[in-house]
Amino acid sequence: MAHLLTVGHGSAERRIAVLRQEGRNPPVIWLGGFKSDMRATKAEAVNAWAERTGRAFIRFDYSGHGESSGNFEEGTISRWLEDALAVIESEAKARPILVGSSMGGWISLLATRYLMDKRPDLAPLGLVLIAPAVDFTDRLMWDRFPEDIKRAVMETGVYHRPSPYSPDPYPITRGLIEDGRRHLLLDGPIRTGCPVTILQGMKDPDVPWKHALLLVEHLPGDSACLTLIKDGDHRLSTPEDLERLTDAIEAIA
């Protein structure tokens, strides 16, 4: 059963649902994607691997996602980063391995930057990023939107974007877009201080494989390994994909 971690103050206070499996360190921490949750296929596969191997594994839902409180439409990169950092600082008992899927890849890199500066005792030992949607609010959303959708976002505050992963459209808010610009990483070098492994499908319609190449170009001086999966989509949830994922985690520590 998940336990709840209180994050934020006043009207911004929310309860973040966390699942923790005890085991040997370094702990593996799962950072999920936009509108995903901690019980999705890849997170469950990593949990099963952690059970088999006796590894500590921590996963959580961002506010407005899954079992956590909060309104999804109030979510921003700042808020979800705060959720992730609260979980890492509260739950990690040693330097972790961060595993970030899609938006979780961006959040992982932002969290790493903060931890290297403010909590070097919790700076990650390694990152495993699955179809990392770095800067997605600008590069993968806003820059692709036609003018009528941009106008709708700015004038009404929200655009309900159809999703192939859910019968319900995803609300893309003006707050999400504008806040995302405070956290852009692809305008300069990205320092991680640890090895980075990226798994990327070449048939991913949401995060193009060239976006992953662009990320690698911004990781100077750090050990970065990019695996392109020719027939892989955005989910990367086939048995072969899941094996690649757990192998990548094991290879770090």
Angle ∠(77,167,176) on CA atoms, nearest 5: 15
Looking at the domain 3-134+191-252, which fold is it?
Rossmann fold (3.40.50)
Task: Give the distance from CA 149 to its chain's centroid.
Answer: 25
Cis peptide before 239 (omega within 30 of 0): no
Total count of residues recorded for the chain: 253
Encoded tokens for 49: 């691997």
Q: So what's the pLDDT on residue 220?
A: 83
* Closest to 141 measured CA to CA, from 129, 155, 158, 128: 158
CA distance 135 to 212: 11
Encoded tokens for 237: 């949830």
Question: 181-196: b or e for each residue (b if 16 or more CB lie within 10 Å)?
Answer: eebeeeeeebbbebbb
Q: Name the catalytic one among 65, 183, 211, 234.
A: 234
- pLDDT tens over the chain, length 253 residues: 899 999 999 999 999 999 999 999 999 999 999 999 999 999 999 999 999 999 999 999 999 999 999 999 999 999 999 999 999 999 999 999 999 999 999 999 999 999 999 999 999 999 999 999 999 999 999 999 999 999 999 999 999 988 877 788 889 999 999 999 999 999 999 999 999 999 999 999 999 999 999 999 999 876 899 999 999 999 999 999 999 999 999 999 8
Angle ∠(132,245,40) on CA atoms, nearest 5: 75
CA torsion sign for 237, 239, 243, 249 is: positive
- Does residue 138 have an active-site annotation? no
CA distance 227 to 182: 29
- Does residue 102 have an active-site annotation? yes
Q: So what's the pLDDT on residue 167?
A: 81
Q: So what's the pLDDT on residue 38?
A: 98
- Does residue 234 have an active-site annotation? yes
pTM: 0.96
Q: Name the catalytic one among 65, 102, 206, 211.
A: 102
Q: So what's the pLDDT on residue 222?
A: 67
Encoded tokens for 158: 């929200």
Domain ranges of the chain: 3-134+191-252
Task: Give the distance from CA 101 to its chain's centroid.
Answer: 5
Contacts of the segment 69-76: beta carbons below 8 A, 24+ positions apart: 69/14, 69/15, 69/16, 70/14, 72/35, 72/171, 73/158, 73/171, 73/173, 74/175, 75/176, 76/175, 76/176, 76/179, 76/180
CA distance 249 to 28: 8
> Going by C-beta distance under 8 Å and a sequence separation of 6 or more, which residues neighbour residue 48?
none
Q: Name the catalytic one among 61, 135, 204, 206.
A: 204
Cα(first)–Cα(last) distance of the chain, in Å? 27
